[in-house]
Structure 1
Amino acid sequence: MIIGLVQCECMLYSAQSLKEKRAVILSILRKAVNGHNLAASEIAYQDAWQRTKLAFVSIGTSKVHVERELARALSLIDGRVDIERADTVYEWL
Structure 2
Amino acid sequence: MIVYVECSFFIPDVSSLKGKRSVLQRMIERVKNDYNVSVAEIDYQDLWQRTVIALVCVSSAKEPAEGEVRRAVRFLESNPEWELTDLQWDYY
Which 5+ residue runs of structure 1 have no aligned equivalent? Answer: none
Q: Does 1:20 align with 2:37?
A: no
Which 5+ residue runs of structure 2 have no aligned equivalent? Answer: none
Partner SS, residue 9 of structure 1 = strand
Alignment-derived partner of residue 86 in structure 1: 85
- Kindly report the root-mean-square deviation, in angstroms, between the aligned alpha carbons of the 2 structures: 1.0
Alignment TM-score, normalising by the size of structure 1 = 0.93
Alpha-carbon shift at residue 8 of structure 1 (Å)? 1.1
CA contact (8 A) 1:77 1:84 kept: no
Partner SS, residue 34 of structure 1 = helix
Residues paired across the two proteins, number = 92
Could you tell me how far apart the structure 1 residues matched to 2:72 and 2:38 are? 10
Moved over 6 A (4+): none
Could you tell me how far apart the structure 2 residues matched to 1:53 and 1:69 are? 19
Alignment TM-score, normalising by the size of structure 2 = 0.94
Alignment-derived partner of residue 6 in structure 2: 7
